[in-house]
Chain A
Amino acid sequence: MRADVAAMAEDGEEGISIRVRIFTMRSEEEVNRAIERYADTVRRLCMIHLKNYADAEDIFQTVFLKYVLSSISFESEEHERAWMIRVTINACKDLLKSFYRSRTVSLDELVDWPAEAPADHREVLEAVLSLPQKNRVVVYLHYYEGYTAPEIGRLLRKNTNTVYTLLTRSRQMLKKKLEGFEDE
């Protein structure tokens, strides 16, 4: 459907090799599968970064449209998931940086996302959302998605030690907010 040429540079063992390939727009079936598989992940990242449903809707549209038009051939499900997370975080950051967003406050921002969560989880979520944004992402990626500090570093383009530091501080803050918080 959509013919184009993409040049992908990848680091090989013997240097950099350039691959040029023809790609097509992803099929409806592929897109539906991606929505079913990654919608929850995108939603959680929206919750971590944003505070209202309308923004989440924008992010969903941006992320999945990028997916539809993306030329990347994913090597594995993990590769695809990492790409989704990366694109979602960038889209959220872009939205937060936008001129309109930086100078206005939506009425929807008053909505408290964890409000709809069961009572026993609401406290935990509120504690996480009370952390600084960069800590929230690291906590989510580590405790829910199961990424290690080096993996989070590569995903967020951050130094591994920085990730360790963020995780340590986040744990300390969560301990203060949530009694009995023990890092296992």
Chain B
Amino acid sequence: MNDKLKEAFGEIRAEEQLKESTRRFLAQKTGDVRKYRGWGYKRLIPVVASMAILVAGWGGYQVYFKPVSVISIDVNPSLELGVNRFDRVVSVKGFNEDGRKLADSVNVKYAEYTDALEEILSSDSVRRCLRRDEVVAIDVVGDDESACGRMLTNIEHCTSGHRNTYCGSSNIEDVEAAHELGLSYGKYRAYLELRELDPDVMPEDIQGMTMREIRDLIERLSGDDSEEIPEDDFQGDDSGEIPEDDSGEIPEDDSQGMNQGGCRGGHHGWGHHGWE
């Protein structure tokens, strides 16, 4: 009887029609799932795209508005220009009252740094200073040595028509140290120089002084009466060696902040466009 039961049950088979309708049903259902899933995936596209745009926008913002180098300009007005990796000025900060006034009076934000520099040097307050035979110290500060070197060359080029202009470059740590003392980098460098000669000098003492006054003070304290330093001493020797006699103007000691760059021919230390 077992066999009879088995044979009888074995006679029951699924109709092909039933199998086929099941296959059609499943194809439709799984197709729906795929369609739904596809729709879900597609729905994510604008979300992902928006997020990508936001991230790219934020990244771009960070890249564009982050200064990678600083140009410090000191006459008596002391101000600093933050320059991004695209050579555009993204920040202008005055470090004393005159500097803040100068920063407010010029419209250099987002301009190329060479144009910005031209505008600042051509501004009334700077021109007045220069007429009084004041000294302009321009320093390029950044971590990228080659970029700073390139900027320095460009700055030298655009300041070549201005007298009493000194150019130099340094690294970002020096700028941070300068800011801690409330000084722009140009004045900080002069302060270090001055402190070598007079350890009692304080940052506050030079904050209100013009660069000419500071340089005159340095010259007086160093006992060097020479009014001028022949340009040849700075430019004629590509080796960058500075005669010890010139220490009044061009300290060799890197610790004094003149450790990188130069105005002409890649010299390290200070360079200038002459006491014309």
Interfacial residues, chain A to chain B (CB-CB below 8 A):
1-2, 25, 28, 31-32, 35-36, 39-40, 42-44, 47, 53, 56-57, 60-61, 64-65, 68, 113, 117-118, 121-122, 124-125, 128, 139-140, 143-144, 174, 178, 180-184
Interface assignment of B49: CB less than 8 Å from any CB of chain A: no
Given contacts A35-B23, A68-B29, contact A178 B18 (CB under 8 A): no
Chain A CB within 10 Å — which of B12, B13, B22, B25 has the most?
A: B12
Given contacts A35-B19, A44-B9, contact A65 B1 (CB under 8 A): no
Chain A residues whose CB sits within 8 angstroms of the CB of B34 once the complex forms:
1
Interfacial residues, chain B to chain A (CB-CB below 8 A):
1-15, 18-19, 21-23, 25-27, 29-30, 33-34, 37
Given contacts A40-B12, A43-B18, contact A31 B26 (CB under 8 A): yes
Given contacts A43-B14, A47-B12, A117-B11, contact A144 B23 (CB under 8 A): no
Within 8 Å by CB of B12, from A32, A44, A139, lies A44
Cβ-defined contact, B13 with A40, below 8 A:
yes
Cβ-defined contact, B1 with A35, below 8 A:
no
Given contacts A35-B22, A56-B18, contact A121 B2 (CB under 8 A): no
Within 8 Å by CB of A65, from B12, B25, B37, lies B25
Within 8 Å by CB of B14, from A31, A40, A61, lies A40
A65-B19 Cα distance, complex, nearest whole Å: 13
Cβ-defined contact, A61 with B37, below 8 A:
no
Q: List 24 A-B contacts (CB under 8 A).
A: A1-B33, A2-B33, A35-B23, A39-B14, A40-B12, A40-B14, A42-B14, A43-B14, A43-B18, A44-B9, A57-B22, A61-B25, A68-B30, A117-B8, A117-B11, A121-B11, A124-B5, A125-B11, A128-B9, A143-B6, A144-B5, A144-B9, A144-B10, A182-B1
Cβ-defined contact, B18 with A125, below 8 A:
no
B13 smallest CB distance to A (angstroms): 5
Chain A residues whose CB sits within 8 angstroms of the CB of B9 once the complex forms:
44, 125, 128, 140, 143-144
Chain B residues whose CB sits within 8 angstroms of the CB of A113 once the complex forms:
12
Within 8 Å by CB of B19, from A39, A182, A183, lies A39
Task: Report whether over half of chain B's contact residues are helix, strand or loop; otherwise say mixed.
Answer: helix
Cβ-defined contact, B25 with A128, below 8 A:
no
Given contacts A2-B37, A39-B19, A64-B22, contact A128 B8 (CB under 8 A): yes
B34 smallest CB distance to A (angstroms): 7
Given contacts A25-B30, A43-B13, A121-B8, contact A1 B37 (CB under 8 A): yes
Given contacts A65-B29, A68-B29, contact A124 B23 (CB under 8 A): no
Cβ-defined contact, A60 with B29, below 8 A:
no
Given contacts A25-B33, A43-B14, A56-B18, contact A178 B8 (CB under 8 A): no
Chain B residues whose CB sits within 8 angstroms of the CB of A25 once the complex forms:
30, 33
Given contacts A121-B7, A124-B8, A128-B8, contact A184 B1 (CB under 8 A): yes
Cβ-defined contact, A183 with B1, below 8 A:
yes
Chain B residues whose CB sits within 8 angstroms of the CB of A43 once the complex forms:
12-15, 18
Cβ-defined contact, A57 with B1, below 8 A:
no
A182 smallest CB distance to B (angstroms): 5
Chain B residues whose CB sits within 8 angstroms of the CB of A143 once the complex forms:
2, 5-6, 9
Top 3 A-B pairs, shortest CB-CB distance: A39-B14, A121-B8, A124-B8
CB nearest to A56 among chain B residues = B18
A117-B25 Cα distance, complex, nearest whole Å: 28
B209 smallest CB distance to A (angstroms): 71
CB nearest to B22 among chain A residues = A60
A73-B183 Cα distance, complex, nearest whole Å: 73
Chain B residues whose CB sits within 8 angstroms of the CB of A31 once the complex forms:
23, 26
Given A31-B23, A184-B2, 13 extra CB contacts under 8 A? A28-B27, A35-B19, A35-B22, A39-B13, A39-B18, A44-B12, A56-B18, A68-B29, A117-B8, A124-B7, A125-B11, A139-B5, A143-B9
